[in-house]
Copies of this chain bind each other. A is one copy, B any other.
């Protein structure tokens, strides 16, 4: 009986463990979980903190008993301290116990990521939080209960920053979001960012863009956040959510050379450069299907897929990671904002001649009640007509997330923009149009590019 050890119990780790066991039930799988929360939905933390998810236990994708009944040995509060590839051993330590050595035939590293801690003086004091783990969220929840803050300031207007703005408004706090870039949600085009900023304002969120936070200090009972060019605001709670970085010290110590942003290089079988060691999830470089090259793109969806490939291959399979398309969606107040594929600057860097064209229409026939506007931005290659990416903004009930998935399918297959018009998509007046919004946007892109006009 062979033996698989998985370091990490979040998306990549659990997928690897479950899929390995499914693929070869005879394999002995041990999953090491650094905290007490295996397979929790980190993406759900904002909804726990908003109060919409009243009990944090609900955030468990699976209960511990479910994981164990799948035949996986779970060791909670157990950290991997060192990997010795030569002897195929991991030194581990369970909280309150002495370190011990465990042997592996195959190893999957799924150590994930941690929030980036920007070098801002004062970022470590009481009332200033990061938000990535269950423990982080307990810290915020406790502070919300005990200190009853009225004001919150969020540094970083990415996905988690905007979700937390929504969450804390939901709790009745006065919320300010501060972003270094010129527009919020820098993962989409500023043309959408400015509209999202307006939507935030409409929901009572103050937004400051182009601001670099330089200091956090106490001022009376408040926390005073200041930055350049000219920014100063007093608040009761600060969230620092400016992205994550891979946790790869263990891998480096084992002898692996780290790559982009310090992530672990892997091939498309999710194998590292060390024998019998795979890695997956937020700790690894991710193959980008459109770039044909690795990048760093930590997402739960990707971690699941990579974990599945790693787990299968660790038990003798022959799976290959198809690659990320950079597909993402976030709900902020009434809106969903989604993207997939490349934006202009990314496409240029990859050698394309991109053109991005925006189109706004209704999510379904306007004569049927409840139609919402949808804005679609399509990026395609002027020379070849190939679809390179799409961005979308609309009401969260306007199927934005699943419409971006239609584009993701198109990107997966390297379709041209014109080809998108050929596909037999569904239609009924309450839910779409004879040419769905994605196809109308594709048609509009073709017209604009054919006429030689800019986007």
B-contacting 9-mer, from A83-91, A345-353, A427-435 = A427-435
A-side residues, CB < 8 A to B, are 11, 22, 41, 43-44, 47, 52-53, 58-59, 61, 289, 299-302, 304-305, 308, 322-331, 336, 338, 340, 365-369, 396-397, 399-406, 408-410, 412-413, 419, 421-432, 434-436, 447
Which residues on B sit within 8 Å (CB–CB) of A400? 431
CA of A338 to CA of B430, assembled, Å: 13
Assuming the contacts A340-B426, A409-B423, A412-B423, asked whether A304 and B369 have C-beta atoms less than 8 A apart, the reply is no
A367 and B47 within 8 A (CB) = yes
Partner of A430, one of B396, B429, B430: B396
User: Are B424 and A327 in touch, CB under 8 angstroms?
Assistant: yes
Do A426 and B399 touch across chains, with their CB atoms under 8 A apart? no
A419 vs B53: C-alpha distance in the bound complex, in angstroms?
33
CA distance A406 to B421 in the complex (A): 14
Q: Is the CB of B41 within 8 A of A428?
A: no
B contact residues around A340 at 8 Å (CB): 424, 426
Pick the contact of A368 from B44, B304, B338 — CB < 8 Å?
Answer: B44
27 chain-A/chain-B pairs, Cβ below 8 angstroms: A41-B365, A41-B429, A43-B427, A43-B434, A47-B430, A53-B368, A58-B366, A289-B424, A300-B427, A301-B424, A301-B435, A302-B424, A322-B419, A329-B428, A331-B428, A396-B430, A397-B397, A401-B431, A402-B426, A404-B426, A405-B406, A405-B436, A406-B406, A408-B426, A409-B423, A412-B424, A413-B413
Are A401 and B399 interface neighbours, CB within 8 A? yes
Are B329 and A431 in contact (CB-based, < 8 A)? yes
Given contacts A44-B367, A47-B367, A368-B53, contact A428 B406 (CB under 8 A): no
A327-B424, A329-B428, A401-B427 given; name 4 further pairs at CB < 8 Å: A22-B447, A304-B435, A402-B403, A413-B413
Closest residue of B by beta carbon distance from A437: B402
CA distance A336 to B426 in the complex (A): 11
The answer, among B329, B408, B430, for a CB contact under 8 Å with A331, is: B430
Of B58, B329, B421, which is within 8 A of A308 by CB? B421
State which of B367, B413, B431 has its C-beta within 8 Å of the C-beta of A59. Answer: B367
Report the bound CA distance from A325 to B425 in whole Å. Answer: 8
A410's closest neighbor in chain B, by CB?
A: B409
A43 to B43, CA, bound (A): 40
A446 to B393, CA, bound (A): 34
- Contact residue among B53, B300, B368, B406 (Cβ-Cβ distance under 8 Å from A434): B300
Cβ of A326: which chain B residues have Cβ within 8 Å of it?
424
Inter-chain contacts of A423 with B (CB < 8 A): 322, 325, 405, 408-409, 412
**Which 7 residue pairs are nearest across A and B when measured between Cβ atoms?**
A402-B402, A409-B409, A322-B422, A329-B426, A58-B367, A325-B424, A401-B431
Question: What residues of chain B lie closer than 8 Å to A366, measured between beta carbons?
Answer: 58
Chain B hits for A428, CB < 8 A: 43, 329-331, 336, 401
Which of A43, A59, A328, A447 has the most chain B CB within a 10 Å cutoff? A43
